[in-house]
A and B are shown apart, each in its own frame.
Chain A
Amino acid sequence: MAKEIIDAMAMKRALTRMTYEIIEKNKGIEDIALVGIKTRGIYLAERIAQRLEQLEDKKVPVGVLDISLYRDDRHDLTTKKDPVVKESQFGFDITDKHVILVDDVLFTGRTVRAALDAIMDQGRPKSINLAVLVDRGHRELPIRADFVGKNVPTSLKEQISVKVEELDGQDGIFLKALKTE
């Protein structure tokens, strides 16, 4: 049974706080572009963009990166293949932009690495920052998030899943023990 560790309210609050931190760090939202990774990262990026727009009255472009893991639901260390970029649609030029990469969960860092490559292929951004809703630890690469919604120390036998209203009908962050066979 998945246990809800962060409820909808706290999740919304974490996103709002990350939005404020993005404004703080970038001294405004000039030249900011958001890039959401695959399904849930996109919704989170869109929500941050929406908050930025409400606050600063300026539209922030949101790009989409589709990176699929060997199997999308297997966020565990038994996966031996690296994530592959399937498709990226930006619809805007990222050159000289401050790109903020948005994902739901930061785990090994391999997805982020693939995303960095994909972004670099598109142009030369001024900088890339990483925003994640949950940092669950267990990094295998020298990657660190700049904006973290919540640090959740986990064991490798657990799985973290973020649910978003647009897709799952509810908001929340859930922790589940993986079946060990």
Chain B
Amino acid sequence: MKRYLILEDGSVYEGEAFGAQEVTTGEVVFTTGMTGYQEAITDQSYANQILTFTNPLIGNYGVNLDDCESLQPHCKGVICREVARVSSNWRQQETLPKFLEQMGIPGLKGIDTRALTKKLRVHGTMKGSLINSMDDYEHAFDQLKATVINKDIVSQVSTSKPYPNPGSKRNVVLVDFGVKHSILRELAERNCNTIVLPSSATAEEILQLHPDGVLLSNGPGDPKDVPHAIEMCRQIQEKLPLFGICLGHQIFCLANGADTYHMKFGHRGFNHPVREIATGRIAFTSQNHGYAVEPDSLKDTDLIVTHQEINDGTIEGVRHKYYPAFSVQFHPDAAPGPHDAVDLFDDFMDAMDKRKEEQNA
């Protein structure tokens, strides 16, 4: 069956359909990771986005439940050059097309993903639609132009009720803006007793739980669309160790007076080199962000830059001068991706332990 990708600039890509039958619209973005398609598709940060894989072949090792980053992915579509006809892995429980079908995500294969990526790099991310027939092309195109991408996606992907992820050592409150399960896994590995709160959590609600530290999770969209979280962060950072990841990082920066901007085509992939400024050490990181912190806006704030992308100089990590609060734009949980930066979770543990020690002293 044929399927088409139409973009808001009028271009049409014709390919083969796989996955679900839905017609969808979203922001077309590309990811440069060579593996980890399952983690990317199930990552909530891709909510309302149509995901293009630059790697020419995906699906070759199937899908398994252990590597899912969320229970209900909100990604709007998957585009690739080729889907493996035969997938094989001892952990495989499902093939990729079957999985997409179950999750209601349409796929498009057999298009020139290199040309598409080049276009996105030149023009920036664009709105696009996956449609099943070209008969009503004019109509579909009008609809695409008229579509306003939903701004309030964080509340869409965040949990509606608090839930625990039990452990026995440190008490962590995680504010869910679209959390990847791998962040919870990293906390569980360090024996944290985690309580996950919805994105609407206020500072009072968090403090009532008497946590040792607060983690602001990753999430989709524009950090300025969650103003209540910015206020919450401002109050929390004075009282508790704070760690922000991805969207949580942008919220932390906004809370301290910095500004964010929409990047032309964002960083999505698992091979982004980041320099830790204090030591000069380079870490290869897993990233997924379409917004970033404006470097100039950091000048008059109490934040210091701790990490920077090498290719384009994007701010990738900051730290508060006066509080044990820090954040990174990339994903130290590395799912999928290089585990170079996973020790940031240990830094968060150290910050919590230190505060505990000081309180008990």
- 24 A-B residue contacts at CB 8 Å? A10-B343, A12-B279, A12-B281, A13-B347, A16-B276, A16-B279, A17-B350, A20-B278, A20-B319, A20-B326, A21-B324, A23-B304, A24-B320, A24-B321, A24-B323, A27-B321, A27-B322, A51-B278, A54-B280, A55-B277, A55-B278, A55-B304, A55-B305, A55-B306
Contact A13 B304 (CB under 8 A): no
Query: Digit string of A7-39 for contact with B (CB within 8 Å is 1, else 0)?
Result: 001101100110111011001100000000000
Q: A56 at the A/B interface (Cβ < 8 Å)?
A: yes
Contact A56 B279 (CB under 8 A): no
CA distance A13 to B276 in the complex (A): 11
Known: A24-B324, A27-B321, A27-B322. A17 touches B279 (CB 8 A): no
Known: A13-B343, A54-B280. 4 other contacts (CB 8 A): A10-B343, A17-B347, A24-B322, A51-B279
Minimum CB–CB distance from B118 to chain A (whole Å) comes to 36
Top 5 A-B pairs, shortest CB-CB distance: A51-B278, A16-B278, A54-B277, A55-B304, A54-B278
Q: Which residues from chain A contact B225 at a C-beta distance below 8 Å? A: none
CA distance A25 to B322 in the complex (A): 7
CA distance A63 to B49 in the complex (A): 55
Q: Which residues from chain A contact B321 at a C-beta distance below 8 Å? A: 23-24, 27-28
> What residue of chain B has the Cβ atom nearest to residue A148's Cβ?
B354
List B321-361 residues whose CB lies under 8 Å from chain A.
321-324, 326, 343, 346-347, 350, 354
Q: Which residues from chain B contact A20 at a C-beta distance below 8 Å? A: 278, 306, 319, 326
Complex partner residue of B346 from A13, A21, A27, A51, CB under 8 angstroms: A13
> What residue of chain B has the Cβ atom nearest to residue A9's Cβ?
B343
Minimum CB–CB distance from B289 to chain A (whole Å) comes to 23
Q: Which residues from chain A contact B324 at a C-beta distance below 8 Å? A: 21, 24
> What residue of chain B has the Cβ atom nearest to residue A25's Cβ?
B322
CA distance A21 to B343 in the complex (A): 17
Interface residues contributed by chain B, number (CB under 8 Å): 21
CA distance A54 to B346 in the complex (A): 22
| A residues lining the B interface (CB < 8 Å) | 9-10, 12-13, 16-17, 19-21, 23-24, 27-28, 51, 54-56
Query: Digit string of B260-283 for contact with A (CB within 8 Å is 1, else 0)?
Result: 000000000000000011111100
Known: A24-B324, A27-B322, A56-B304. A19 touches B343 (CB 8 A): no
Q: Which residues from chain A contact B326 at a C-beta distance below 8 Å? A: 20
Q: Which residues from chain A contact B346 at a C-beta distance below 8 Å? A: 13
CA distance A56 to B277 in the complex (A): 10
Q: Which residues from chain B contact A12 at a C-beta distance below 8 Å? A: 279, 281
Minimum CB–CB distance from B241 to chain A (whole Å) comes to 11
CA distance A20 to B325 in the complex (A): 10
Minimum CB–CB distance from A109 to chain B (whole Å) comes to 17
List B239-298 residues whose CB lies under 8 Å from chain A.
276-281
Q: Which residues from chain A contact B278 at a C-beta distance below 8 Å? A: 16, 19-20, 51, 54-55
Minimum CB–CB distance from A56 to chain B (whole Å) comes to 7
Q: Which residues from chain B contact A16 at a C-beta distance below 8 Å? A: 276, 278-279
CA distance A28 to B323 in the complex (A): 11
Q: Which residues from chain A contact B304 at a C-beta distance below 8 Å? A: 23, 55-56
Minimum CB–CB distance from B310 to chain A (whole Å) comes to 15
CA distance A32 to B305 in the complex (A): 20
Minimum CB–CB distance from A32 to chain B (whole Å) comes to 13
CA distance A75 to B234 in the complex (A): 47
> What residue of chain A has the Cβ atom nearest to residue B306's Cβ?
A55
Name which of A9, A13, A56 has the most chain B CB atoms within 10 A of its CB.
A13
Q: Which residues from chain A contact B347 at a C-beta distance below 8 Å? A: 13, 17
Q: Which residues from chain A contact B319 at a C-beta distance below 8 Å? A: 20
> What residue of chain B has the Cβ atom nearest to residue A23's Cβ?
B321
CA distance A12 to B347 in the complex (A): 12
Query: Digit string of B15-43 for contact with A (CB within 8 Å is 1, else 0)?
Result: 00000000000000000000000000000
Minimum CB–CB distance from A80 to chain B (whole Å) comes to 32
CA distance A13 to B279 in the complex (A): 9
> What residue of chain B has the Cβ atom nearest to residue A150's Cβ?
B350
Minimum CB–CB distance from A20 to chain B (whole Å) comes to 6
CA distance A27 to B321 in the complex (A): 6
Minimum CB–CB distance from A115 to chain B (whole Å) comes to 23
Q: Which residues from chain A contact B279 at a C-beta distance below 8 Å? A: 12, 16, 51, 54
> What residue of chain A has the Cβ atom nearest to residue B281's Cβ?
A12
CA distance A150 to B349 in the complex (A): 13
Minimum CB–CB distance from A165 to chain B (whole Å) comes to 13
Q: Which residues from chain A contact B323 at a C-beta distance below 8 Å? A: 24
Minimum CB–CB distance from B316 to chain A (whole Å) comes to 14
> What residue of chain A has the Cβ atom nearest to residue B347's Cβ?
A17
Q: Which residues from chain A contact B354 at a C-beta distance below 8 Å? A: 21
